[in-house]
């Protein structure tokens, strides 16, 4: 612990990142460039989110790290350990108890509250990237709010699949201005982005961008009048806790077509089971 | 709006690439419903002129005054970029020589035609698709090919798709850069026929840059001949082609192969 500055990064770097965060909060949805540092983990493992977390952490914080909703997968465990060792902060798996949550690809089911910070790991921050390859052009399009192209992508989806088939990283418009990639969260989570009491920060390490959705900001998922946005999920209830309103993972259980649907948010599922809820296969793991 | 102003008025347009002259001191007026042809050999500055007018290049000097629907004649070069972009996708159209430059090759034909509509705020899938289908019909592309990508189209079809994509918002001014370049003669003839029909039907004004005198003979009302970045002769198409005055124009006209 004493070998590192608090939360691994030196104070100058943290200050630089905080400046970028302040700018991002001031212009919701705008991608602020920042001088991303090398982190002791590979790109794609959350280097952007880790840097934002490091810049936001205080010794009094309680940190929760989730990966695809789960607290116990490699990415979540290693990042949690990283901050335990380098910052010595308390950690938790309970969404309600955490003051700072770093997440990869999910928003917790438990509604966030005022004072919490949700930090997303972002692989590709530019929503227009696969439509317009030139960075100079995408920046200009953001500057001019020239977002017709985003609808061309949705049009193509409907033309090919009969519905908007984009199911994750679904483009949103923040505060009526910037179109933003909400990181690869399932579109089921998109409505939770809007008017959240918590501060939401997005960090992309390789692409060197930070953006933000301040508390109580309107976030709208793009759609067509006759093909409105639908926050879809698997039409099942969780096999462990019985919840039919949470986002589900499909788990293959054998090689004979056996499968079960369980909550992707492990904390949500465990809390419900502790409270006595049970799904169809609850006894299987008990 | 009113007939008192030319639709487009180009005044003293000049563009040089370092010491080399792109085009120099070009001025002309284009009236509503009129088709202007610009001819000249390769390197004569006609494409530079077109790009400067259409806002793809920034000229060194001059003005391009367009008679906008809302606020009358305005210098396009002095417009803020959002307005210019809006103009470029509502009242203007640009048909590139190579359809690959003007189309999105990874997007279906319907998406290509619908892009301008969505760019100006259309948010109803059914209506966008209906308009795209209608326009594919007008440029003689079968409706069942609406979900095919342009890469699956022939060269002539790609060019027709590009025209549909440009005309879908009902522009008043079309810039065309060698619209028939790279097509074989029978396809060229059909395309010219189609363009002539559309121009007359919609009452379009157009500026057509080409080195093919047959194209301007068919489409253009007036003709401008360029050489080394300068306009050497200007007049009614038939007058210039049948009675060329400048030595270079005479050379150009006499160079056309007779079959």
In this predicted model, what pLDDT tens digit does every residue of A64-84 receive, in sequence order?
999 999 999 999 999 999 999
pLDDT in tens, A106-143: 999 999 999 999 999 999 999 999 888 899 999 999 99
Q: Give the pLDDT mean for A191-220.
A: 97
- A140 CB neighbours in chain B (<8 A) are 81
A56 in active site = no
Find which of B89, B118, B120 to mutate to test the A interface (most A CBs within 10 Å of its CB).
B118
Q: What is the DSSP letter of A8?
A: B
Strand, coil or helix: A32: strand
The pLDDT of residue A282: 80
Contact (CB<8Å) A225/B147: no
Q: Are A100 and A56 in contact (CB under 8 A)?
A: yes
pLDDT of residue A206 exceeding 90, the answer is yes
Q: Are strands B61-68 and A259-263 parallel, antiparallel or unpaired?
A: unpaired
Rounded Cα gap, residues A50 and A78, in angstroms: 11
pLDDT at A286: 52
Tokens of A47: 């280097």
When CB atoms are compared, the residue of A149, A156, A224 closest to B108 is: A156
Q: Using an 8 Å Cβ cutoff, are B205 and B10 in contact?
A: no
Helix axes B155-167, B185-202, angle to 10 degrees: 10
Using alpha carbons, select from A118, A70, A96, A131 the residue that is nearest to residue A214.
A118
pLDDT at A269 over 60: yes
User: What is the ipTM, given to two decimal places?
Assistant: 0.86
> Rounded mean pLDDT of A161-179?
95
Tell me, yes or no, if A276 is annotated catalytic. no
CB contact under 8 A, B128 and A155: yes
Nearest CA in chain A to B82: A144
What are the phi and psi torsion angles at B9 (to 5°)?
-130, 115
Whether A185 and A153 have beta carbons less than 8 Å apart is answered as: no
Question: Which is catalytic among the residues A49, A203, A269, A279?
Answer: A269
Percent of chain A with pLDDT over 90: 92
Query: Which among B85, B126, B147 has the least Cβ separation from residue A226?
Result: B126
How far away is chain B from the Cα of A220, in angstroms, using its nearest Cα?
Answer: 14
pLDDT digits (tens, 9 = 90+) for B210-219: 988 888 998 8
Nearest CA in chain B to A158: B125
User: What percent of the residues of chain A are helix, what percent strand, and what percent coil, each to the nearest 5?
Assistant: 30, 20, 50
Considering only alpha carbons, which residue of chain A is nearest residue B89?
A148
B43: which residues sit within 8 A by CB, 6+ positions away? none
Instruction: Confirm if A89 and A83 have CB atoms less than 8 A apart.
Output: yes
Test mutation, B123, B131, B133, chain A, max A CBs within 10 A? B123
Chosen from A149, A152, A179 to mutate, greatest number of chain B CBs within 10 A: A152
Say whether A68 sits in a helix, a strand or coil: coil
Domains (range + CATH), chain B: 33-64+172-259 (3.40.50.300), 102-170 (no CATH)
Of A145, A149, A159, the CB nearest to B110: A159
CB B132 within 8 A of CB B169: no
Residues B219 and B204: beta-carbon distance below 8 Å: no
DSSP for A118-156, please give it: EEEE-S---TTTTT---HHHHHHHHHTT--HHHHHHHHH
Between CA A280 and CA A285 the distance in angstroms is 11
Closest Cα of chain A to B85: distance in Å? Answer: 9
CB contact under 8 A, B125 and A227: yes
Is A4 within 8 Å of A86 (Cβ atoms)? yes
Contact (CB, 8 A) for A146 and A85 = no
pLDDT in the model for residue A284: 65
What's the rounded Cα separation, in Å, for the pair A265 and A246?
Answer: 8
Q: How does pLDDT run across A2-48, given as a tens digit for each residue?
A: 578 999 999 999 999 999 999 999 999 999 999 999 999 999 899 99
DSSP character for A189?
A: G
Q: In this structure, what token pair is assigned to residue B241?
A: 């082609």
Q: What is the pTM of this model?
A: 0.88
Which pLDDT does position B3 carry in this prediction? 56
Q: Inter-chain contact B111–A159, Cβ cutoff 8 Å? A: yes
- Interface of A to B at Cβ within 8 Å reads 140, 144-146, 148-149, 151-152, 155-156, 158-160, 223-227
Task: Give strand pairing partners of B206.
Answer: B35, B174
User: For residue B80, which residues of chain A lie inside 8 Å, CB to CB?
Assistant: none
Per CB-CB distance under 8 Å, the chain A contacts of B120 are: 148
B123 and A155 in contact by Cβ < 8 A?
no
In total, the C-beta contacts within 8 angstroms joining chain A to chain B are 54
Is residue A63 a contact partner of residue A116, using CB atoms and an 8 Å limit? no
- Which chain A residues contact residue B128 at CB under 8 A? 155
Is B146 within 8 Å of A155 when comparing Cβ atoms?
A: no
C-alpha distance from B257 to closest chain A C-alpha (Å): 43
Task: State whether the Cα torsion B51-B52-B57-B60 is positive or negative.
Answer: positive
Please give the pLDDT value at position B1. Answer: 45
Task: Enumerate residue ranges in chain B where pLDDT < 70.
Answer: 1-3, 259
Distance CA B71, CA B175 (A): 22
Other Cβ atoms less than 10 A from the Cβ of A196: the count is: 22
Q: How far is A132 from chain B (nearest CA, A)?
A: 10
Q: Distances in Å between the alpha carbon of B24 and those of B10, B63, B209, B236, B244? A: 12, 12, 16, 22, 22
User: How confident is the model over A208-231, as pLDDT tens digits?
Assistant: 999 999 999 999 999 999 999 999
Secondary structure of chain B in HEC code, one letter for each residue? CCCCCCCEEEEEEEEEECCEEEEEEEEEEECCCCEEEEECCCCCCHHHHHHHHHCCCCCCEEEEEEEECCCEEEEHHHCCHHHHHHHHHHCEEEECCCHHHHCCCCCCHHHHHHHHHHHCCCCCHHHHHHHHHHHHHHCCCCHHHCCCCHHHCCHHHHHHHHHHHHHCCCCCEEEEECCCCCCCHHHHHHHHHHHHHHHHHHCCEEEEEECCHHHHHHHCCEEEEEECCEEEEEEEHHHHHHCCCCHHHHHHHHCCCCC
Tokens 């879908």 appear where? B168
């Amino acid at each position: 612990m004493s070998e590192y500055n608090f939360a691994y990064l030196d104070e100058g770097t943290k200050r630089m990142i905080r400046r970028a965060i302040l700018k991002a909060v001031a212009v919701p949805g705008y991608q602020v460039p920042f001088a991303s540092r090398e982190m002791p983990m590979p790109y794609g493992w959350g280097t952007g989110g880790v840097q934002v977390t490091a810049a936001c952490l205080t010794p009094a914080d309680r940190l929760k790290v989730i990966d695809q909703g789960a607290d116990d997968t490699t990415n979540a465990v290693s990042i949690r350990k990283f901050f335990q060792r380098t910052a010595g902060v308390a950690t938790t798996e309970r969404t309600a108890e955490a003051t700072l949550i770093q997440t990869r690809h999910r928003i917790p089911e438990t509604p966030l509250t005022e004072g919490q910070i949700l930090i997303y790991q972002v692989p590709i921050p530019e929503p227009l990237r696969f439509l317009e390859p030139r960075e100079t052009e995408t920046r200009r399009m953001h500057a001019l709010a020239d977002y017709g192209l985003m609808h061309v992508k949705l049009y193509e989806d409907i033309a090919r699949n009969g519905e908007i088939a984009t199911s994750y990283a679904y483009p949103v418009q923040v505060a009526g201005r910037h179109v933003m990639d909400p990181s690869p969260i399932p579109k089921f989570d998109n409505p939770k982005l809007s008017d959240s009491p918590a501060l939401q920060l997005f960090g992309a390490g390789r692409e060197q961008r930070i953006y933000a959705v301040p508390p109580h900001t309107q976030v709208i998922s793009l759609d067509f009048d006759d093909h409105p946005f639908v926050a879809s999920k698997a039409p099942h209830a969780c096999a462990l806790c019985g919840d039919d309103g949470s986002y589900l993972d499909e788990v293959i259980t054998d090689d004979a077509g056996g499968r079960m649907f369980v909550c992707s948010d492990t904390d949500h599922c465990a809390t419900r089971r502790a409270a006595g809820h049970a799904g169809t296969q609850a006894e299987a793991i008990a | 709006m009113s007939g008192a102003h030319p639709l487009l008025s180009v005044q003293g347009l000049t563009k040089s690439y370092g010491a080399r002259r792109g085009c120099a001191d070009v001025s002309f007026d284009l009236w509503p419903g009129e088709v202007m042809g610009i001819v000249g050999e390769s390197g004569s500055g006609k494409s530079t002129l077109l790009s400067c007018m259409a806002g793809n290049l920034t000229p060194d000097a001059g003005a391009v005054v367009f008679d906008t629907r809302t606020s009358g004649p305005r210098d396009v070069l002095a417009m803020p970029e959002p307005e210019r972009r809006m103009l470029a996708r509502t009242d203007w159209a640009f048909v590139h020589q190579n359809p690959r430059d003007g189309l999105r090759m990874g997007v279906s034909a319907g998406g290509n035609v619908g892009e301008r509509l969505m760019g100006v705020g259309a948010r109803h899938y059914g209506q966008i698709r209906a308009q795209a289908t209608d326009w594919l019909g007008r440029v003689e592309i079968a409706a069942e090919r609406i979900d095919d990508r342009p890469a699956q189209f022939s060269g002539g079809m790609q060019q027709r798709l590009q025209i549909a994509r440009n005309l879908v918002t009902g522009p008043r001014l079309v810039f065309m850069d060698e619209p028939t370049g790279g097509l074989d003669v029978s396809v060229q003839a059909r395309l010219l026929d189609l363009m002539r029909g559309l121009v007359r039907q919609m009452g379009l004004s157009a500026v057509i840059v080409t080195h093919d005198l047959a194209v301007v003979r068919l489409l253009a009302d007036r003709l401008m001949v360029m050489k080394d970045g300068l306009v050497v002769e200007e007049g009614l198409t038939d007058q210039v082609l049948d009675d060329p005055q400048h030595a270079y124009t005479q050379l150009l006209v006499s160079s056309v192969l007779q079959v």
